[in-house]
């Protein structure tokens, strides 16, 4: 009888950022600029790699996948955030909230696994250069990429299903700037111990496992680089890993800061996660472009082709 008298929640209200009242216009312009730069940068990387046959290699194949992830990651919450800042309408439907939870964990897991696959690719290229094309053939690359997307979809489906099979009957105010598992399940009218335990375990297990695999790969890579007789070879090998290591640091650094120190202030956690979700997808194509002559050459060819077409 008590459950029957409760109101079933069909939409949520996102509180947004703490202590930002009166700064909506500045935030709107800032997030719009970040979003447009992310779209432009990743679309340029995709176009350059797809149109230049010289870049049809395993490393750039995985970079293409990463660009797709970054495009999706930036689009999970930013468009809704821009609408909230501009129209000051903070409501989101139950379906919209479910979509944000699913795609956030789907793309977050995909990115984590892709960094691991890219670390394995660099390990094979540096530690087994003569067998690189045999080991990293297109069948293996396709299986690794497909495995990343499929396993991530299962991961996100399980977490989303567990989250939204709980009854929600009020209140409906999510104390965050988008729908995520922990802020949402706090509003459930049921015991949330199981979903919180499963979510924390799964969310923690994926990045920790990936980070350890990446660390193992780079231990072997560093050992192989130090054994090289040529200083030029050492510099070239280190250069091919620098971009990937930078991206890994930008991805796992904020994760470690947020999840390993849960008592951080809400303002700091929000800032760190905003950097991870908004800035990192924009920085990835910049990092690869600035440090990679082949990508810069492909972009120049793409630009030259566009100018010729005009």
The ranges assigned to domains in the chain are 11-111+128-203+257-309
What band does 3 get if pLDDT is binned at 50, 70 and 90? very low
The per-residue pLDDT for 307 is 45
The per-residue pLDDT for 308 is 47
C-alpha torsion sign, points 50, 54, 55, 56: positive
C-beta of residue 299 within 8 angstroms of C-beta of residue 44? yes
What band does 291 get if pLDDT is binned at 50, 70 and 90? low
The per-residue pLDDT for 15 is 82
In three-state secondary structure terms, 136 is coil
The model's pLDDT over 28-78, given as tens digits with 9 standing for 90+, comes to 898 899 999 999 989 988 988 888 888 888 988 999 999 999 999 889 888
Write the DSSP assignment of 81-135 as a string of letters: HHHHHHH---EEEHHHHHHHHHHHHHHHHHHHHHHHHHHHHHHHHHHSGGGHHHH
CATH architecture of the domain covering 11-111+128-203+257-309: Up-down Bundle (1.20)
Global pTM?
Answer: 0.87
């Amino acid at each position: 009888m008590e459950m029957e008298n409760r109101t079933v929640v069909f939409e949520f209200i996102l509180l947004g950022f703490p202590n930002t009242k009166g700064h909506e216009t500045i935030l709107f312009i800032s997030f719009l600029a970040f979003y447009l730069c992310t779209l432009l940068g990743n679309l340029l990387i995709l176009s350059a790699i797809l149109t230049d046959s010289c870049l049809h290699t395993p490393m750039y194949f995985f970079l293409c996948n990463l660009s797709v992830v970054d495009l999706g990651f930036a689009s999970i919450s930013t468009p809704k955030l821009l609408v909230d800042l501009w129209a000051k309408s903070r409501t989101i439907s139950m379906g919209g909230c479910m979509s944000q939870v699913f795609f956030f964990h789907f793309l977050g897991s995909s990115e984590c696994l892709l960094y691991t696959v890219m670390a394995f690719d660099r390990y094979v290229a540096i530690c087994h250069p003569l067998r690189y094309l045999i080991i990293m053939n297109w069948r293996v690359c396709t299986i690794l990429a497909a495995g990343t997307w499929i396993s991530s979809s299962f991961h996100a489906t399980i977490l989303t299903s567990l989250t939204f099979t709980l009854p929600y009957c009020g209140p409906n105010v999510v104390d965050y700037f988008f729908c995520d598992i922990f802020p949402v399940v706090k509003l459930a009218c049921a015991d949330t111990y199981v979903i919180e335990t499963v979510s924390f375990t799964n969310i923690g297990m994926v990045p920790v496992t990936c980070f350890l695999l990446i660390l193992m790969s780079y231990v072997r890579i560093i050992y192989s680089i130090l054994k090289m007789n040529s200083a030029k070879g050492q510099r070239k090998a280190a250069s091919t890993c620098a971009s990937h290591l930078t991206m890994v640091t930008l991805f796992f650094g904020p994760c470690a800061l947020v999840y390993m120190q849960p008592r951080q202030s809400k303002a700091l956690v929000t800032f760190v996660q905003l950097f991870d979700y908004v800035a990192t997808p924009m920085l990835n194509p910049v990092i690869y472009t600035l440090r990679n002559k082949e990508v810069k050459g492909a972009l120049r060819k793409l630009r030259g082709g566009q100018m010729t077409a005009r």
